[in-house]
Amino acid sequence: MESDVFPDLGKVAENMSDEKQNMPHHVAIIMDGNGRWAKARGWPRLKGHQEGANSLRAILRACRDHGIKYLTVYAFSSENWVRPKSEVSGLMNLLKTFLRKQEHELHENKVRLRMIGRMADLPAAVQQELERVMAATAHYTEHHLILALSYGSRTEITEACRAIAREVKAGQLDPEKITEQTVAQQLYLPDVPDPDLLIRTSGEMRISNFLLWQISYSELYVTPVFWPDFREQEFAAALADYAKRHRRFGDIK
Ligand code: FPP
């Protein structure tokens, strides 16, 4: 498929060898299109999510191979709770299975598991599994897999505002001294640098309440490929496209 909006994957991959690979440190992904992928095959939506979990495994390995330190994925938004009960419970079970199956590989590749979002919204069994794997991998520094779960960016920013307001009320902070840094320090993971590259699969041109503060200067890459089909080759094409970008951060250079 060739269009101005979606680059031809073959051509982008071909150009890869010519590009001096300028790698992102942090890649964030809106993993979209699981349902449509399944529907196109006449399969239940959950099958799309299961295959989507396999894509996540593949992209996590690709991040290790490319030396990408941070991978943040939108696994369940604060808006996704309105989906049918069976889909929500299917996704929560899939998450538990993913954590159990993936733990060995996280250790093998020294990946620290982290999460952003409202942990308390998740079922107790998922919280337990998450806490366990996050604690078991907390000492790794080389790679970070960050799962956005019951995550909404407006909620994250609102909670940060509340924390800042509390400090002002307690007389610990002068409102005139509030800077962008003050706000950034109150977000879920203040030590994690902003994403360099934001990928969205399935062709939708939306941000969907994902990392609104953190993606201010991220490069955007939207591909029509559904998430279950997004594997190493598609990821390599996204990285090659990123490598050609000239990031100016508002400057004219
Ligand atoms: C969007 O596709 C995807 C989700 C809401 C869930 C993402 C979950 C996974 C990729 C499963 C693996 C993740 C973990 C951590 C186990 P959609 O259902 O909105 O697709 P559609 O727009 O085609 O309906």
Mutating to test ligand 1, I would choose from 31, 77, 97 the residue with most ligand atoms within 8 A of its C-beta, which is 31
pLDDT at 251 (0 to 100): 84
Residue in the block written with tokens 């030590």: 191
Which ranges constitute the DSSP H helices of the chain? 9-15, 34-39, 45-66, 85-108, 124-136, 153-169, 180-185, 232-244
Question: Cα–Cα distance between 156 and 116 in angstroms, integer?
Answer: 9
Instruction: Give the CA distances from residue 83 to residues 79, 203, 217, 224, in Å, rounded to whole numbers and listed in that order.
Output: 8, 21, 32, 23
pLDDT per residue as tens digits for the range 183-238: 999 999 999 999 999 999 999 999 999 999 999 999 999 999 999 999 999 999 99
pLDDT per residue as tens digits for the range 18-38: 444 799 999 999 999 999 999
SS3 category, 209: coil
Instruction: Take atom 5 of ligand 1 and give the residue whose Cα is closest.
Output: 76
Phi/psi of residue 3, nearest 5 degrees: -155, 170
The correct answer on CATH 3.40.1180.10 for the domain covering 25-152+193-243 is: yes
Residues of the chain above pLDDT 90, percent: 89
Residue 81: CA atoms inside 13 Å, Cβ hemisphere, count?
Answer: 10
Instruction: Give the CA distances from residue 214 to residues 26, 94, 138, 193, in Å, rounded to whole numbers and listed in that order.
Output: 11, 28, 23, 8
Question: Cα–Cα distance between 171 and 186 in angstroms, integer?
Answer: 17
pLDDT at 249 (0 to 100): 83
pLDDT at 247 (0 to 100): 78
Among 14-23, 46-55, 87-96, 150-159, whose mean pLDDT is lowest?
Answer: 14-23
Task: Please report which confidence band the pLDDT of residue 6 belongs to, taking 50, 70 and 90 as the band edges.
Answer: low
Using a 6 Å CB cutoff, which residues line ligand 1?
31-36, 49, 52-53, 56, 75-76, 80, 94-95, 98, 147, 227
pLDDT per residue as tens digits for the range 145-158: 999 999 999 999 99
CA 67–ligand 1 middle distance (angstroms):
25
pLDDT at 12 (0 to 100): 47
Q: Return the higher-pLDDT residue of 252 and 62.
A: 62
Residue in the block written with tokens 């977000």: 187
SS3 category, 76: strand
Instruction: Take atom 7 of ligand 1 and give the residue whose Cα is closest.
Output: 75
Question: Which two three-digit tokens encode residue 249?
Answer: 């951060």
Which of 130, 50, 58, 137 lies closest to 96 in space, CA to CA?
A: 130
CA 147–ligand 1 middle distance (angstroms):
12
CA 74–ligand 1 middle distance (angstroms):
8
Q: How many residues does the chain have?
A: 253
CA dihedral 151, 152, 156, 157 (to 10 degrees): 160
Q: How far is CA 229 from the centre of its chain?
A: 17
Task: Please report which confidence band the pLDDT of residue 2 belongs to, taking 50, 70 and 90 as the band edges.
Answer: very low
Task: Indicate if the pLDDT at residue 142 is higher than 60.
Answer: yes
